[in-house]
Amino acid sequence: MPKIDPQSFLPLKTQWFHIMLTLAGGEQHGYGIMQEVLERSAGKVRLWPATLYGSIKRLMEAGLIAESDERPAPELDDARRRYYRLTTFGRRVLEAESDRLQELVHAIRVKRAMVTG
């Protein structure tokens, strides 16, 4: 199987980036992902269920995330929930996207300094 370059996924779709960023902190179920994205973005990014689960499906097909085999203790869990995790390849793609975004922020700061300085 040929090796896929993480750069081929860039720039990541906004919803993919937010889902993957959430999973970089550990395994999470769909509703938890929605809540964390909403909170982290101060309500500016809302992943509706159809968008979230469609994105999860495509992220899994791309090998960027996977369904987790591990579950919380039964008294802390709902058996209907599915938990997701970032794959090793998904971490590489997220890191590449983070580097790309940092370069953009740097370019913006340089431009601002040229205008104001």
For residue 38, pLDDT over 60 is answered with: yes
Q: Is 94 part of a structural domain of the chain?
A: yes
Q: Please report how the helices 30-40 and 49-61 are oriented relative to each other, as an axis angle in degrees rounded to 10.
A: 110
Inter-residue contact 29 to 49 (CB < 8 Å):
no
pLDDT in tens, 14-31: 999 999 999 999 999 999
Q: What is the CATH number of the domain that holds 69?
A: 1.10.10.10
Give the residue numbers spanning the domain of 44: 9-116
Q: What is the pTM of this model?
A: 0.89
Helix (H) or strand (E) holding 29: strand 28-29
- pLDDT > 90: percent of the chain: 83
pLDDT given for residue 73 in this prediction: 63
pLDDT in tens, 61-86: 999 999 998 766 666 667 678 999 99
Q: Is 56 part of a structural domain of the chain?
A: yes
pLDDT given for residue 3 in this prediction: 86
Q: Is 1 part of a structural domain of the chain?
A: no
Rounded Cα distance between 85 and 102, Å, is 24
Q: How many distinct structural domains can be found in the chain?
A: 1
Q: Is 107 part of a structural domain of the chain?
A: yes
Q: Is 34 part of a structural domain of the chain?
A: yes
Inter-residue contact 54 to 82 (CB < 8 Å):
no
Alpha helices in the chain (DSSP H): 14-24, 30-40, 49-61, 88-116
pLDDT given for residue 20 in this prediction: 98
Rounded Cα distance between 19 and 24, Å, is 9
Q: Is 29 part of a structural domain of the chain?
A: yes
